[in-house]
Structure 1
Amino acid sequence: MSIPEHLAMLRRGVEAWNHWHLHERPLVFARPSPIYGQGPDLSGADLQQAMLAGINLCTTNLRGANLRQADLHGADLGLADLREAILHGANLCQSCLAADLRGADLREAWLAGADLRGSWLNAHTRLEGVLLQDAEHGSARVAGLDWSQVRLATIAWERVDLLGDEEILSAPHIHKEEPGASYELLQAYERLWQYESAIQAYETLQQALKEQGLPAQAARFRARACSLRQNPEYRFFSRRLRRQQGRERFFPL
């Protein structure tokens, strides 16, 4: 069960919790998982309909917690332990959800714009009715996600036009007034990485959909990956960096 002092701190409000979490939170290394949930302990806590938008819950142990219909918009749940947590109908839009979600109940949860990269899902993770995209928040980012154990047929893929990993390619860029050659090369590498991440996200998802007997959905996401591979900008950066790597091989710094 959750530690009473940690639960009392949470009840003081998001601002007080975030300050405590940043400056005074305890580190725990005796829990079973060596990665997730090594911070504050809110396991089993009843946080139904709690207003927690913007809260920092990274590394928090929330195993078995009741977060039904909680507002976690923009929350940081990176490396949190959410095994068997109830997130039914929770607002997780634009949250960082690189968490252990094995056995979590995410039915009808709002995940539009959420970052799911690094999440751990399994066959017991419930995703019926989950919202992965909307007009206001965009789509979830899923590059590197292992879909092999997820029951993909429970997700309404027809409501997902594109993944957030591709949406990032349309985000505005901040340019230096007088960028040097090294800065421009770094930007080129970053841009190529964004394309490769989006392509990988589509190809991994389409392969999992195909293996689970969902060929129509698989074909749609495969087409998105092919479209990105044919994008002139992607082809330009790919050729440019291959030439750069060739020069570095023959003329090392």
Structure 2
Amino acid sequence: MSLPGTARMKSVDEIPIDKLGLLHYLSNYEKYIGPIRTQPLKFLELGVARGDSLKYWESWLPNAEITGLDIAQCRAHFESGRVRCYVGEQQDKALLDRVAAERAPKGFDVIIDDAAHVGQLARICFWHLFENHLKPGGFYFIEDWGTGYWPQYPDGKHYSPKPVALSPHERLLDRLHKSRAVQTIYPLRKLTGWIRWNLVRRRFGGHDRGMVGFVKELIDECGAEDMTHPDFGTGTPRRSRFDWMRISLGHVVIRKADDGAA
């Protein structure tokens, strides 16, 4: 996210639009980080490019210790002495461990992933940082998950959704079940009703490439309590490791559960 260094969150009219969804992202950061922005936060951003966003965070988060990671050296200069940049790849778990040990040994309060926007790399990075280096109650932001729809990215692909409608066999069963002959014969009505119930479409072939597929995996974690329900699910019953998750235009926000998964 390329941002001007300012002392406060800009208004809509003041922000230069230089990337898809910038205003929306800023609105989310103001909503979730704004109430705690004066605290001595441990803050990590993955993918900082020239360092514009780090300069913004340095100004907007006056007491935070800010850390950046990018595949290239950040050339920006920071006045406060509270910003440090590392060079490396987001999926390098050993590097992530070193960064955390040096900058946030008790965990980060906020992590932003604006790095490769490649599903597998973001996925490896997320679970390692979330489980090992994000504080309970901390925020994890994922930017630009919509790259999974873009063929320009290595794991992206155009999406062609199917029309929302009953399939041919569902329409046939509907007509059969509603026919006068079936309705007047109780066993036939019960049989066609049972067939309709059991042959209704259960899978919906939505897009699952790249970042989109990774976000859908995160939705599974939101469903952990239902997934492991003692009467209907499988596995040891547990709560989600997420307190909550918000999915919006190009942006995911996750708050880690205060006490972890039960």
Tell me, yes or no, whether TM beats 0.5. Answer: no
Q: Tell me which structure has the larger Cα radius of gyration.
A: 2
Higher relative contact order (CA closer than 8 Å, sequence separation 6+)? 2
Between structures 1 and 2, the one with greater strand share: 2
Q: What is the TM-score with the length of structure 2 in the denominator?
A: 0.27
What is the TM-score normalised by the length of structure 1? 0.28
